[in-house]
Amino acid sequence: MSTTAAFTSLESFEAAIRDVRNDDTKTKWVLVHHVDNDPSRLEVQASGEGDVSEMVGYLKDNEAQYGLIRLEEQIDLSVTTKFVYIHWMGTGIGFAIRGRFGVVHGSIQANFTPFHMAIETSSREDLDQQVVTDQLASQSGLKQRVLEKEEAKDRPVRGFTGVGSGQGPPSRPIGAKSSASPSVSRTGASVAASGDVAAIFQDVRSADVSVDWPWAAVHFPNNDVKQPLAVLATGDSTLDGLRTHLTKDTAVFALTRVVDHVDDIPTKKFIQITWVGDSVKPMAKAKIATQKGGIIEIIGQSHLSVFAGAPNDTNERILKEKISVSSGSKR
Protein backbone atom coordinates (compact mmCIF):
# COMPACT_ATOMS: atom_id res chain seq x y z
CA MET A 1 0.00 0.00 0.00
CA SER A 2 1.39 3.37 -1.03
CA THR A 3 2.12 5.90 1.72
CA THR A 4 2.25 8.87 -0.65
CA ALA A 5 -0.07 10.59 -3.10
CA ALA A 6 0.99 12.34 -6.32
CA PHE A 7 -0.65 14.86 -8.65
CA THR A 8 -1.65 13.79 -12.12
CA SER A 9 -0.52 17.28 -13.19
CA LEU A 10 1.92 18.80 -10.70
CA GLU A 11 2.30 21.85 -12.93
CA SER A 12 -1.42 22.66 -12.65
CA PHE A 13 -1.32 22.37 -8.88
CA GLU A 14 1.82 24.50 -8.50
CA ALA A 15 0.30 27.20 -10.74
CA ALA A 16 -2.90 27.22 -8.67
CA ILE A 17 -0.97 27.48 -5.39
CA ARG A 18 1.13 30.34 -6.77
CA ASP A 19 -2.06 32.22 -7.66
CA VAL A 20 -3.41 31.85 -4.13
CA ARG A 21 -0.14 33.03 -2.57
CA ASN A 22 0.27 35.94 -4.98
CA ASP A 23 -1.26 39.15 -3.59
CA ASP A 24 -1.52 40.52 -7.12
CA THR A 25 -4.09 37.89 -8.20
CA LYS A 26 -7.75 37.69 -7.26
CA THR A 27 -7.60 33.94 -6.55
CA LYS A 28 -8.38 33.38 -2.85
CA TRP A 29 -8.54 29.58 -2.60
CA VAL A 30 -7.72 26.29 -4.26
CA LEU A 31 -9.24 22.86 -3.61
CA VAL A 32 -7.71 19.45 -4.38
CA HIS A 33 -9.31 15.98 -4.37
CA HIS A 34 -8.46 12.37 -5.22
CA VAL A 35 -9.00 11.19 -8.79
CA ASP A 36 -11.79 8.58 -8.70
CA ASN A 37 -11.30 8.40 -4.91
CA ASP A 38 -7.90 6.77 -5.50
CA PRO A 39 -5.76 7.62 -2.42
CA SER A 40 -2.56 7.72 -4.51
CA ARG A 41 -3.77 10.20 -7.18
CA LEU A 42 -4.59 13.89 -6.79
CA GLU A 43 -5.82 16.70 -9.02
CA VAL A 44 -6.93 20.31 -8.69
CA GLN A 45 -10.70 20.29 -8.36
CA ALA A 46 -11.47 24.01 -8.24
CA SER A 47 -10.23 27.48 -7.36
CA GLY A 48 -12.00 30.77 -6.89
CA GLU A 49 -12.04 34.45 -6.03
CA GLY A 50 -14.77 34.29 -3.38
CA ASP A 51 -14.62 33.71 0.36
CA VAL A 52 -14.57 30.46 2.32
CA SER A 53 -18.25 29.78 1.61
CA GLU A 54 -17.54 29.57 -2.11
CA MET A 55 -15.02 26.80 -1.53
CA VAL A 56 -17.39 25.00 0.85
CA GLY A 57 -19.82 24.66 -2.06
CA TYR A 58 -17.41 22.21 -3.69
CA LEU A 59 -17.02 19.92 -0.66
CA LYS A 60 -18.50 16.42 -1.00
CA ASP A 61 -19.61 14.07 1.76
CA ASN A 62 -18.03 11.02 0.11
CA GLU A 63 -14.60 12.55 -0.57
CA ALA A 64 -11.37 13.58 1.09
CA GLN A 65 -10.42 17.08 -0.05
CA TYR A 66 -7.62 19.54 0.71
CA GLY A 67 -7.58 23.30 0.30
CA LEU A 68 -5.59 26.47 0.87
CA ILE A 69 -7.34 29.76 1.61
CA ARG A 70 -5.88 33.28 1.63
CA LEU A 71 -7.35 35.55 4.29
CA GLU A 72 -6.53 38.95 5.73
CA GLU A 73 -5.96 39.77 9.40
CA GLN A 74 -5.57 43.09 11.18
CA ILE A 75 -2.33 43.67 13.15
CA ASP A 76 -2.09 47.13 14.69
CA LEU A 77 -2.65 49.51 11.73
CA SER A 78 -1.66 46.94 9.12
CA VAL A 79 -3.58 44.28 7.23
CA THR A 80 -1.58 41.06 6.89
CA THR A 81 -2.08 38.06 4.64
CA LYS A 82 -2.68 34.70 6.30
CA PHE A 83 -3.00 31.21 4.81
CA VAL A 84 -5.26 28.47 6.16
CA TYR A 85 -4.95 24.79 5.20
CA ILE A 86 -8.22 22.81 5.02
CA HIS A 87 -8.34 19.03 5.46
CA TRP A 88 -11.87 17.84 4.70
CA MET A 89 -13.00 14.25 5.34
CA GLY A 90 -16.61 13.70 4.32
CA THR A 91 -18.86 11.78 6.68
CA GLY A 92 -19.82 9.37 3.88
CA ILE A 93 -16.29 8.01 3.35
CA GLY A 94 -16.08 4.28 4.08
CA PHE A 95 -14.03 3.07 7.04
CA ALA A 96 -11.43 1.16 5.01
CA ILE A 97 -10.67 3.89 2.48
CA ARG A 98 -10.70 6.52 5.27
CA GLY A 99 -7.71 4.72 6.73
CA ARG A 100 -5.89 4.76 3.37
CA PHE A 101 -6.52 8.50 3.05
CA GLY A 102 -5.01 8.94 6.50
CA VAL A 103 -1.85 7.07 5.49
CA VAL A 104 -1.11 9.40 2.55
CA HIS A 105 -2.17 12.64 4.23
CA GLY A 106 1.33 13.55 5.41
CA SER A 107 2.63 13.62 1.84
CA ILE A 108 -0.37 15.68 0.72
CA GLN A 109 -0.11 18.33 3.44
CA ALA A 110 3.56 18.88 2.60
CA ASN A 111 2.48 20.28 -0.78
CA PHE A 112 0.50 23.05 0.93
CA THR A 113 3.17 24.27 3.35
CA PRO A 114 3.79 26.77 4.73
CA PHE A 115 0.54 28.02 6.27
CA HIS A 116 -0.52 29.79 9.46
CA MET A 117 -3.33 27.50 10.57
CA ALA A 118 -4.80 24.09 9.74
CA ILE A 119 -8.42 23.02 10.06
CA GLU A 120 -9.33 19.34 10.01
CA THR A 121 -13.07 18.72 9.89
CA SER A 122 -16.03 16.86 8.43
CA SER A 123 -18.55 19.58 9.27
CA ARG A 124 -19.38 22.52 7.01
CA GLU A 125 -20.30 24.52 10.11
CA ASP A 126 -16.61 24.58 10.99
CA LEU A 127 -15.89 26.35 7.71
CA ASP A 128 -18.19 29.30 8.15
CA GLN A 129 -16.29 32.46 7.15
CA GLN A 130 -16.70 34.08 10.57
CA VAL A 131 -15.73 30.90 12.44
CA VAL A 132 -12.52 30.57 10.42
CA THR A 133 -11.69 34.25 10.88
CA ASP A 134 -12.29 34.06 14.62
CA GLN A 135 -10.16 30.94 14.93
CA LEU A 136 -7.34 32.62 13.03
CA ALA A 137 -7.45 35.62 15.37
CA SER A 138 -7.56 33.34 18.41
CA GLN A 139 -4.67 31.26 17.11
CA SER A 140 -2.42 34.29 16.76
CA GLY A 141 -3.75 36.02 19.90
CA LEU A 142 -4.41 39.25 18.06
CA LYS A 143 -6.88 42.02 18.76
CA GLN A 144 -7.36 44.98 16.51
CA ARG A 145 -5.86 48.19 17.87
CA VAL A 146 -6.75 51.65 16.63
CA LEU A 147 -4.32 54.46 17.41
CA GLU A 148 -6.02 57.83 17.40
CA LYS A 149 -4.19 60.75 15.77
CA GLU A 150 -4.30 62.79 18.98
CA GLU A 151 -2.54 59.98 20.79
CA ALA A 152 -0.09 59.39 17.94
CA LYS A 153 1.13 62.94 17.46
CA ASP A 154 3.28 62.84 20.60
CA ARG A 155 5.00 59.63 19.52
CA PRO A 156 7.96 60.34 17.19
CA VAL A 157 8.55 56.70 16.28
CA ARG A 158 6.19 53.77 16.68
CA GLY A 159 7.29 50.20 16.97
CA PHE A 160 5.47 46.90 16.82
CA THR A 161 3.29 45.96 19.77
CA GLY A 162 4.03 42.37 20.77
CA VAL A 163 1.21 39.99 21.52
CA GLY A 164 0.98 36.51 22.97
CA SER A 165 -0.28 33.31 21.45
CA GLY A 166 -4.02 32.69 21.59
CA GLN A 167 -5.44 29.56 23.12
CA GLY A 168 -8.38 27.87 21.47
CA PRO A 169 -10.70 24.97 22.18
CA PRO A 170 -9.40 21.40 22.30
CA SER A 171 -9.29 19.50 19.03
CA ARG A 172 -11.70 16.75 18.15
CA PRO A 173 -11.19 13.83 15.76
CA ILE A 174 -12.65 13.76 12.27
CA GLY A 175 -16.14 12.36 12.28
CA ALA A 176 -16.93 13.51 15.81
CA LYS A 177 -20.06 15.54 16.40
CA SER A 178 -19.66 19.13 15.29
CA SER A 179 -19.14 21.81 17.91
CA ALA A 180 -18.91 25.59 17.61
CA SER A 181 -15.22 25.51 16.70
CA PRO A 182 -13.14 23.29 14.39
CA SER A 183 -10.06 21.27 15.19
CA VAL A 184 -7.25 23.78 14.65
CA SER A 185 -3.50 23.44 15.03
CA ARG A 186 -2.23 26.25 17.21
CA THR A 187 1.34 26.65 18.35
CA GLY A 188 2.20 23.27 16.86
CA ALA A 189 5.28 21.25 17.73
CA SER A 190 7.83 22.95 19.95
CA VAL A 191 11.01 24.23 18.33
CA ALA A 192 14.39 24.55 19.99
CA ALA A 193 16.86 27.30 19.10
CA SER A 194 20.53 27.90 19.82
CA GLY A 195 21.36 30.48 22.47
CA ASP A 196 22.26 33.31 20.08
CA VAL A 197 19.06 33.19 18.00
CA ALA A 198 16.96 35.45 20.23
CA ALA A 199 19.66 38.14 20.21
CA ILE A 200 19.79 38.52 16.41
CA PHE A 201 16.03 39.08 16.18
CA GLN A 202 16.16 41.55 19.03
CA ASP A 203 18.89 43.42 17.16
CA VAL A 204 16.53 43.79 14.19
CA ARG A 205 13.73 45.10 16.41
CA SER A 206 15.95 47.57 18.24
CA ALA A 207 17.89 48.86 15.21
CA ASP A 208 17.76 52.65 14.81
CA VAL A 209 15.40 53.96 12.15
CA SER A 210 18.43 55.35 10.30
CA VAL A 211 19.51 51.78 9.51
CA ASP A 212 17.97 50.50 6.28
CA TRP A 213 16.65 46.94 6.07
CA PRO A 214 18.25 45.28 9.10
CA TRP A 215 17.65 41.53 8.80
CA ALA A 216 18.40 38.25 10.55
CA ALA A 217 17.87 34.68 9.36
CA VAL A 218 17.89 31.23 10.94
CA HIS A 219 17.80 27.70 9.55
CA PHE A 220 17.98 24.05 10.52
CA PRO A 221 21.65 23.05 10.09
CA ASN A 222 22.10 20.53 7.27
CA ASN A 223 18.32 20.72 6.73
CA ASP A 224 17.90 18.45 9.74
CA VAL A 225 14.60 19.57 11.27
CA LYS A 226 15.41 17.59 14.42
CA GLN A 227 18.23 20.02 15.23
CA PRO A 228 17.67 23.38 16.97
CA LEU A 229 17.29 26.45 14.80
CA ALA A 230 20.66 28.15 14.36
CA VAL A 231 21.84 31.56 13.15
CA LEU A 232 22.32 31.57 9.39
CA ALA A 233 23.26 35.19 8.67
CA THR A 234 22.50 38.83 9.47
CA GLY A 235 22.88 42.09 7.55
CA ASP A 236 21.45 45.49 6.72
CA SER A 237 21.24 48.16 3.99
CA THR A 238 19.74 45.65 1.51
CA LEU A 239 18.38 42.10 1.49
CA ASP A 240 20.91 40.97 -1.14
CA GLY A 241 22.78 38.93 1.46
CA LEU A 242 19.59 37.17 2.54
CA ARG A 243 18.68 36.27 -1.03
CA THR A 244 21.99 34.41 -1.52
CA HIS A 245 20.77 31.87 1.06
CA LEU A 246 17.38 31.25 -0.61
CA THR A 247 18.29 28.15 -2.60
CA LYS A 248 16.15 25.25 -3.80
CA ASP A 249 17.35 22.88 -1.08
CA THR A 250 17.14 25.17 1.97
CA ALA A 251 14.51 26.26 4.49
CA VAL A 252 15.13 29.77 5.83
CA PHE A 253 13.19 31.88 8.33
CA ALA A 254 13.99 35.59 8.52
CA LEU A 255 12.89 38.89 10.06
CA THR A 256 13.50 42.29 8.55
CA ARG A 257 12.30 45.83 9.23
CA VAL A 258 11.27 48.80 7.16
CA VAL A 259 10.24 52.30 8.25
CA ASP A 260 6.79 53.27 7.00
CA HIS A 261 5.18 56.68 7.45
CA VAL A 262 1.66 56.49 8.87
CA ASP A 263 -0.05 59.85 9.38
CA ASP A 264 3.39 61.43 8.76
CA ILE A 265 4.83 59.51 11.70
CA PRO A 266 7.83 57.21 11.03
CA THR A 267 6.71 53.75 12.09
CA LYS A 268 8.73 50.56 12.39
CA LYS A 269 7.18 47.71 10.45
CA PHE A 270 8.42 44.14 10.73
CA ILE A 271 8.31 41.54 7.99
CA GLN A 272 8.66 37.81 8.55
CA ILE A 273 9.98 35.86 5.56
CA THR A 274 9.59 32.11 5.15
CA TRP A 275 11.46 30.28 2.40
CA VAL A 276 11.11 26.53 1.79
CA GLY A 277 12.96 25.49 -1.36
CA ASP A 278 11.36 23.18 -3.92
CA SER A 279 13.97 20.47 -3.32
CA VAL A 280 13.47 20.29 0.45
CA LYS A 281 12.33 16.73 1.17
CA PRO A 282 8.55 16.26 1.61
CA MET A 283 8.93 14.83 5.12
CA ALA A 284 11.01 17.84 6.13
CA LYS A 285 8.36 20.16 4.66
CA ALA A 286 5.66 18.37 6.64
CA LYS A 287 7.70 18.67 9.85
CA ILE A 288 8.30 22.38 9.23
CA ALA A 289 4.53 22.83 8.81
CA THR A 290 3.90 21.37 12.26
CA GLN A 291 6.62 23.62 13.72
CA LYS A 292 5.36 26.84 12.16
CA GLY A 293 3.80 28.15 15.37
CA GLY A 294 6.97 27.46 17.33
CA ILE A 295 9.10 29.22 14.74
CA ILE A 296 6.85 32.29 14.88
CA GLU A 297 7.18 32.35 18.66
CA ILE A 298 10.96 32.45 18.30
CA ILE A 299 10.96 35.18 15.63
CA GLY A 300 8.12 37.16 17.19
CA GLN A 301 5.04 38.78 15.68
CA SER A 302 5.23 40.80 12.49
CA HIS A 303 3.10 43.18 10.45
CA LEU A 304 3.58 41.22 7.22
CA SER A 305 4.25 37.53 6.57
CA VAL A 306 5.79 36.62 3.23
CA PHE A 307 6.00 33.07 1.91
CA ALA A 308 8.61 33.55 -0.77
CA GLY A 309 8.23 31.31 -3.80
CA ALA A 310 11.16 32.95 -5.58
CA PRO A 311 14.08 35.05 -4.26
CA ASN A 312 12.64 38.11 -6.01
CA ASP A 313 9.62 37.91 -3.69
CA THR A 314 11.95 39.52 -1.11
CA ASN A 315 12.70 42.52 -3.34
CA GLU A 316 12.83 45.61 -1.13
CA ARG A 317 10.57 47.67 -3.37
CA ILE A 318 7.92 44.93 -3.44
CA LEU A 319 8.02 44.44 0.33
CA LYS A 320 7.82 48.16 1.05
CA GLU A 321 4.87 48.56 -1.28
CA LYS A 322 3.04 45.69 0.45
CA ILE A 323 3.64 47.32 3.83
CA SER A 324 2.43 50.68 2.54
CA VAL A 325 -0.71 49.17 1.03
CA SER A 326 -1.55 47.19 4.18
CA SER A 327 -1.04 50.18 6.49
CA GLY A 328 -2.91 52.59 4.25
CA SER A 329 0.08 54.93 3.94
CA LYS A 330 0.27 54.52 0.17
CA ARG A 331 -1.38 57.39 -1.63
Judged by DSSP in three states, 21 sits in: helix
Judged by DSSP in three states, 127 sits in: helix
pTM, rounded to two decimals: 0.55
Per-residue pLDDT tens digits for 186-197: 445 678 999 899
CA atoms lying within 13 Å on the CB side of residue 58: 20
From 202, 190, 281, 256, select the one nearest 228 (Cα to Cα): 190
Per-residue pLDDT tens digits for 79-95: 678 899 999 999 999 88
Mean pLDDT of 265-287: 87
38 pLDDT more than 60: yes
Mean pLDDT of 109-121: 89
Residue-by-residue DSSP string for 237-279: S-SHHHHTT--TT-EEEEEEEEEEEETTEEEEEEEEEEEE-TT
